[in-house]
């Protein structure tokens, strides 16, 4: 009987330890955040691109299940080198970023080829500069 109580106590202690070792959150969606500086006098041009080709591509990515959303934020720059727009694209998780062939297929369908898409990206340098980007992940408390 004493051995059974000791075994039960040990099992309960191990189970409690396993629960205590669990993360207090789960990993949520991943968002790419890009800081953009639109050149003076070019904001309307860039917004027209964003509401046209960019939105079309993002909606196609959403339809394909590759992204869950995208947003455009205006920012008040504090210094001349600060962004005046922030673009975000949200993915279901980090694994979604590994679907390069799927992203390329959507882009090729919309742009004609990956080369044309790259040339379009380069041509926008006349109206904006990408200052940097990072990936952030939402942590959802349990």
Residues 93-96: contacts with CB under 8 Å, at least 24 apart = 93/27, 93/28, 93/29, 93/30, 94/27, 94/30, 94/135, 94/137, 96/30, 96/66, 96/67
- Complete DSSP assignment for 11-35: HHHHHHHHHHTS-SEEEEEEEEEEE
Which pLDDT score, from 0 to 100, does residue 46 have? 95
Task: State mean pLDDT over 25-36.
Answer: 97
| Packed helices 100-111 and 114-123: angle between N→C axes, nearest 10 degrees | 80
State both tokens at 128: 């904006």
Task: State mean pLDDT over 74-91.
Answer: 96
Task: State mean pLDDT over 56-80.
Answer: 96
* SS3 of residue 112 by DSSP: coil
Which pLDDT score, from 0 to 100, does residue 67 have? 97
When the candidates are 3.30.43.10, 2.40.160.20, 3.30.70.100, 1.20.272.10, the CATH number that belongs to 24-141 is 3.30.70.100
Which pLDDT score, from 0 to 100, does residue 3 have? 58
On average, the pLDDT of the chain sits at: 87
State both tokens at 118: 């790259």
Which pLDDT score, from 0 to 100, does residue 110 have? 82
Task: State mean pLDDT over 96-125.
Answer: 81
> CA distances (Å), 53 to each of 1, 3, 4, 107, in order?
74, 72, 70, 11
* Cα 119 from Cα 28, distance rounded (Å): 34
Domain range annotation of the chain: 24-141
């Amino acid at each position: 009987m004493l051995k059974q109580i000791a075994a039960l106590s040990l099992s309960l202690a191990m189970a409690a330890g396993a629960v205590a070792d669990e993360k207090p959150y789960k990993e949520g969606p991943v968002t790419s955040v890009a800081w953009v500086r639109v050149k003076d006098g070019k904001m309307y041009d860039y917004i027209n691109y964003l509401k046209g080709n960019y939105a079309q591509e993002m909606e196609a990515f959403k339809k394909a299940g590759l992204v869950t959303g995208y947003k455009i934020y205006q920012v008040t720059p504090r210094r001349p080198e600060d962004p005046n727009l922030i673009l975000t694209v949200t993915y279901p998780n980090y694994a979604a970023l590994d679907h390069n062939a799927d992203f390329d297929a959507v882009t090729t369908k919309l742009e004609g080829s990956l080369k044309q898409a790259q040339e379009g990206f380069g041509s926008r340098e006349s109206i904006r500069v990408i200052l940097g980007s990072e990936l952030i992940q939402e942590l959802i408390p349990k």
